[in-house]
Chain A
Amino acid sequence: MNIRLGTADLAKYPFLNEAAEYMHQTYFNLDDLNLPELGHIVERASNRLRSEIEHGRPDYTLERHEVEILTFLVGILIIKAINSDNLTKKHCLFEALRAEKFLVRDLKAQGELSTKRLLLFKIFKELLKMDVLPSLKYQLMFEVKVADYLKRSHLFHEQEWKLINRLVHDGRVFLDPDETVRLIRAEVANLLLERIRQMNPSHIPSTIREQAHILKASIPVASSKLDNSPLAFPPCISHALDEMTAGENLPHSARVMLATYMLAIGKNIEEIVSLFKNAPDYDERVSRYQVEHLAGERGSHVRYLVPSCAKLRNDGLCFATSQCDGLINPVQFGRAVKFNRGETNVSQR
């Protein structure tokens, strides 16, 4: 298919191959970013990154395509210059979230079916090698092949993403626009991450280096694990902590597990909130509210219990070892370890 997207679409999806082609056609040179005329682009990209770092929120403002494509490029260059794996992952997730919002809107729009088809082709087929078609039977629904769906849906832990809870027929899964786009969020983020990692610019312009320097100073210090010996944590908690330290985007269920566990072993709100500092979407205000809610200090004033091992197994959060034998809740783990250690000491004596 050799039909091209409009410039308005390139503004919304600057990671598409056509956006790169556009840059190529303008004879853009990296050193042009040192020109005062492009100062506002560098500032815009920098502000966008600052908002991500400080508030954990993507920027949904939309300018004309020349501005958006350049802002996207400058953002990536600044990230490359800062050279922080956590920040890179965070930025990729926010770019994916931004694209997700525009894509949902475009797929919901009551416009030409051919426009939707083109967008689906460019983003799903060309970029992600996945067939998505507007459903002819159900208005405002899309059809995804069962195998394509399963390859992605297993990353979601919520029960409604299980295939059995989907409308399935003749090898197709029917999804609404939100679900269709949600299915590929992680994939778009990973695709961007891969591109940034492979990107090898000849040099970084001085204005970009300056912005990178300023932004780097404002990044919160990465939290380390709690003082407790990691050996005392059950494997599910250790795994979630490792993921969090690596800046991975933990699912909601894993965050609830982590917070309720830490509350159960007596950690205070401050310590628990700081645990989430490395989360790509970290916003201290939101994290604090949620932890306080789980602690029973807000909302219904009910203190949430640590999910059972059975629930964690079902949610794909269990990484049991032989030390977990006989446990029904992760909070028992610490006690079992202590008990075993006690036994060892007795026998040594």
Chain B
Amino acid sequence: MTLTKTGQDLHLMKIAFREFYFNYGNKVEEPSKIQNREFGLMSLDGVMKRHLKFSSLGGLFASLILETPSDVFASNALYDFPVLPISEKGWRGADLIFDIDLKDLDLKCRQSHSFRTCLSCSSSYLSGSDESCPKCSSNSFAESILPCDKCIKGLKNEVAKLHSFLTSDIGISSEKIITYFSGNNGFHIHVLDESFNDLNSQARADLAGYIMGIGILAEVIGAWKDTRSDFRVRFPLGGLDYGWRKRISDRLGISITSQKKLSNMIKELGGLEQFRKRVAEITKEMGVRIDSQVTTDVHRVFRMPGTLNGKSGLTKILCADLNSFDPFDESCQISSREVSVKIMLPKMKLRLKGQRFNLTEGVVHVPMFVGVYLISKGLAHAMDSNP
């Protein structure tokens, strides 16, 4: 469910976003073969315009200033005719992109900073504390997350795991893997290796399954079904030297010389079926929590690097060094001048652009980047006097 913004909210966001594009519009990254990409612009009131074409970044820049969209997207696909309906565009391949999003990580801390905003009375409350709105008992709400440092650490771990799979298993060189902070709750990993561009959805689903650790057979680790004795051990021709076979065998502490050990392990676990479950648990744990729908979609429009994310007011930004990257600092590029907003939560803590904010319910004066962040998340509303 989308968040309801007031006219003043939209007015403040428009001023902030236009100012950003005026100052930083030249930092929007030009996609390769721009004339073959489909563009999409989402207006601040939530209307999406797709099937647009820009032959140069200059044309896009003009639209950003004039229309001031909340979100700017470009297709991962290349088309002969980007402005035509999907079936007539003439698909010519698509960049391989991975999305790692907080919603897929099941982190324990999430509950403590997930919020619901009541769509009836606009009050906000901690998600999970009440099923319905504590003020008006309505059950219609929008949810938002204010990611914490633990969330970012969790996301970075997944990005590092993905990087390892892509380089050591899939053979993509590091310089062809570009990591961006999405501007809200995740990271986008773009692969610049064109040999993957003509893979269709099913082939990409197979690749996504590999990275997520889905669908492994116990046979590839050496455990085969046997009608007489439940199972038998026979290691595969290529051994257990690489990829998933190595990951799992290392975790289980087996090698191709330890046939007896594997056999005993399967017996101790209670048979082949239990061993299969154990292997599936390991692959689930060691696999990367990517959003497979994003990877398999070959007609998707993706947020453009260097543009603002309408769900947070933060920028989708290149992450040159994953370890030192601080999204709450580096991607916060909206103006610092003061605005007044009405906070809808009893209390909250926030860290943005190197500053810490302890905020309580009611009208407060905060830097514009804080105001826009909270309005985008549905946790505050702009006041009349802005700006």
Binding site for B on A (CB under 8 A): 138, 140-141, 145-147, 150-151, 153-154, 159-160, 162-172, 174, 176, 316
- Decide: A168 and B213 in contact? CB cutoff 8 A: no
Q: With A141-B238, A168-B243, A170-B171 as given contacts, are A163 and B209 in contact (CB-CB < 8 Å)?
A: yes
CB distance from B214 to the nearest CB of A (A): 7
In chain B, what residue has the closest Cβ to A175? B238
* CA of A255 to CA of B237, assembled, Å: 30
**Residues of chain B lying within 8 A (CB to CB) of residue A154:** 200, 202-203, 205-206
**Residues of chain A lying within 8 A (CB to CB) of residue B142:** none
**Residues of chain A lying within 8 A (CB to CB) of residue B241:** 167, 169
Interface string of B350-370 (1 = CB under 8 A from A): 000000000000000000000
Q: With A160-B217, A160-B219 as given contacts, are A151 and B209 in contact (CB-CB < 8 Å)?
A: no
Q: Enumerate the 3 nearest inter-chain pairs by beta-carbon distance, A residue then B residue, closest first.
A: A171-B171, A169-B242, A167-B238
In chain B, what residue has the closest Cβ to A139? B237
Q: With A151-B198, A151-B199 as given contacts, are A174 and B215 in contact (CB-CB < 8 Å)?
A: no
Q: How large is the interface on B (under 10, 10 to 19, 20 to 34, 35 or more residues)?
A: 35 or more
- Decide: A146 and B215 in contact? CB cutoff 8 A: no
In chain A, what residue has the closest Cβ to B170? A146
Add 6 more A-B contacts to A138-B239, A162-B209, A165-B217 (CB < 8 A).
A146-B170, A146-B171, A154-B203, A167-B236, A168-B210, A168-B242
Instruction: Tell me the dominant secondary structure on chain A's binding face.
Output: mixed
Interface string of B213-224 (1 = CB under 8 A from A): 111110110000
- Decide: B213 and A164 in contact? CB cutoff 8 A: yes
* CA of A164 to CA of B170, assembled, Å: 11
Any A CB within 8 A of the CB of B87: no
- Decide: A150 and B203 in contact? CB cutoff 8 A: yes
Any A CB within 8 A of the CB of B169: yes
Query: Which of B170, B172, B217 is the most central at the interface, judged by chain A CB atoms within 10 Å of its CB?
Result: B170
Binding site for A on B (CB under 8 A): 168-172, 195-196, 198-200, 202-207, 209-210, 213-217, 219-220, 236-239, 241-245, 283
- Decide: B169 and A141 in contact? CB cutoff 8 A: no
In chain A, what residue has the closest Cβ to B197? A147
CB distance from B164 to the nearest CB of A (A): 12
**Residues of chain B lying within 8 A (CB to CB) of residue A167:** 236, 238-239, 241-243, 245
**Residues of chain A lying within 8 A (CB to CB) of residue B172:** 171
CB distance from B56 to the nearest CB of A (A): 31
**Residues of chain B lying within 8 A (CB to CB) of residue A174:** 238
A/B interface sample: 24 pairs, CB < 8 A = A138-B238, A141-B237, A146-B207, A147-B199, A150-B204, A154-B202, A154-B206, A159-B215, A162-B210, A162-B215, A163-B207, A164-B209, A164-B213, A164-B216, A165-B216, A165-B217, A167-B243, A168-B242, A168-B244, A169-B168, A170-B171, A170-B242, A171-B172, A316-B202
In chain A, what residue has the closest Cβ to B202? A154
**Residues of chain A lying within 8 A (CB to CB) of residue B216:** 164-165
CB distance from B51 to the nearest CB of A (A): 26
* CA of A165 to CA of B216, assembled, Å: 6
**Residues of chain B lying within 8 A (CB to CB) of residue A171:** 169-172
**Residues of chain A lying within 8 A (CB to CB) of residue B198:** 151
CB distance from B353 to the nearest CB of A (A): 41
CB distance from A130 to the nearest CB of B (A): 11
CB distance from B325 to the nearest CB of A (A): 27
**Residues of chain A lying within 8 A (CB to CB) of residue B168:** 169-170
**Residues of chain A lying within 8 A (CB to CB) of residue B169:** 146, 168-171
